[in-house]
Structure 1
C-alpha cells in the first residue's frame, strides 16, 4: 500500500452566486407591474351628482320645488322639460331639440332665473337642480348629449333618474 498513487482532489470552487443581476430584474418587474396597474384603471366621466338622499323633494321635502328643473328624454331625440313638480308645475311642459338654440338656451335661461329667485329670497348659493330622466325609448347618445349640455351650461347639481311618475308617463305618452 505504500506505492498507491495519491488521490487527486479537485479544488472546490466558490459556491457563492452573484445576485446583482437578479435584483435589477426584480426592480424592473416591480416597476413594470406598477405602471401596468396604473394604466389599466378604468377611466370614467366625473359626474357631479347630489347625495342619494338629496332628491327627496316635493311639497314636504327639503328641496324647494322652484329649484327643480326636470328634463325628460324620449325617442326621436325629443326633450321635454318642466319646472317644479309635474303635479304642480310652475309652468307648462315644453318640448325642445338638442343644440345651442334648443335645450342649451333653455337650460341657461332657467339657471339664470332660478339663481335670481334664490338670491331674492336670501340664498344666493342655492341654484338650479336638474333632474334628467331618460325613458326606455331614448338612446344612449341622447343621455351623453344632455350630460354635455350640463357641462357646457356649468350646471353643478344634476341627477340621472330612471323612475317616472304617473304624470310624467302620461306626458311622454301624449307627445
Structure 2
C-alpha cells in the first residue's frame, strides 16, 4: 500500500457549545423585565367604595355635630374649615394653607379635640368625621394633597362631597 492511495482524513473535532453565558444573560433579562414591570405599575391612593358601587348620601341627623369637621377647598390653594354645621358652627370658620404648619397641624388638633370630647361623653371609639368639599375652582392637586393629609393624620372617616349649602357658597364668595 502506498501512501497516495490512502485518503487523508481530517480529524473530527468535538464541537461543544458552552451555554453558561447564555443562561446568565437569560436570568439577567428575566430580572430586568420583572423589575420594569413592577415599576411601571400605576401608583394611586386606595378609594373604598360600597360593594355595589352606589354611593348613597343620607341625612346626618344621627351624627353629633361635635364630630363633624368640614374642609372647603377653593381656588389659589385656599382652604376654609369649620367645625359642626355651618348654620350653627362650634367655632368660626378659619382659613389655612397647605403644609405641616397649616392644615396638617389643624387636622391633628381637631382630631385630638374630638377624640377627647368623645371619651368624655363615653364613646371612645367614635372619632372625627371629615367632610371634604372641593369647589369647582379648586384644582385636582388640592384634593390629592388633602387626601394625603387625611392619610398622614390617620383619619379613617372622611367623605368627599361636591355639593355646597348656600351658607358655604357665601363663605367661599367672601374673600
TM-score by length of 1: 0.71
Structure 2: stretches of 5+ with no match in the other structure = 1-37
Q: Which residue of structure 2 lines up, in the alignment, with residue 90 of structure 1?
A: 90
Residues 154-165 of structure 1 aligned to structure 2 (within 5 Å): 154-165=154-165
Residues 15-94 of structure 1 aligned to structure 2 (within 5 Å): 44-47=44-47, 52-53=55-56, 56-57=59-60, 61-94=61-94
| Counterparts of 2:126 and 2:68, CA distance in 1 | 11
| Counterparts of 1:49 and 1:118, CA distance in 2 | 27
Shift of 1:47: 3.2
Q: Which residue of structure 2 lines up, in the alignment, with residue 139 of structure 1?
A: 139
| Counterparts of 2:171 and 2:58, CA distance in 1 | 21
In proportion to residue count, which structure has more helix? 1
| Counterparts of 1:54 and 1:166, CA distance in 2 | 18
Deviations 1:29-69 (A, max 9, x none): xxxxxxxxxx9x98652135799456522xxx011100000
Q: Which residue of structure 1 lines up, in the alignment, with residue 33 of structure 2?
A: none
Aligned length: 136
Q: CA RMSD in A?
A: 2.4
Secondary structure of the structure 1 residue equivalent to 2:101: helix
| Counterparts of 1:104 and 1:49, CA distance in 2 | 25
TM-score by length of 2: 0.71
| Counterparts of 1:165 and 1:120, CA distance in 2 | 31
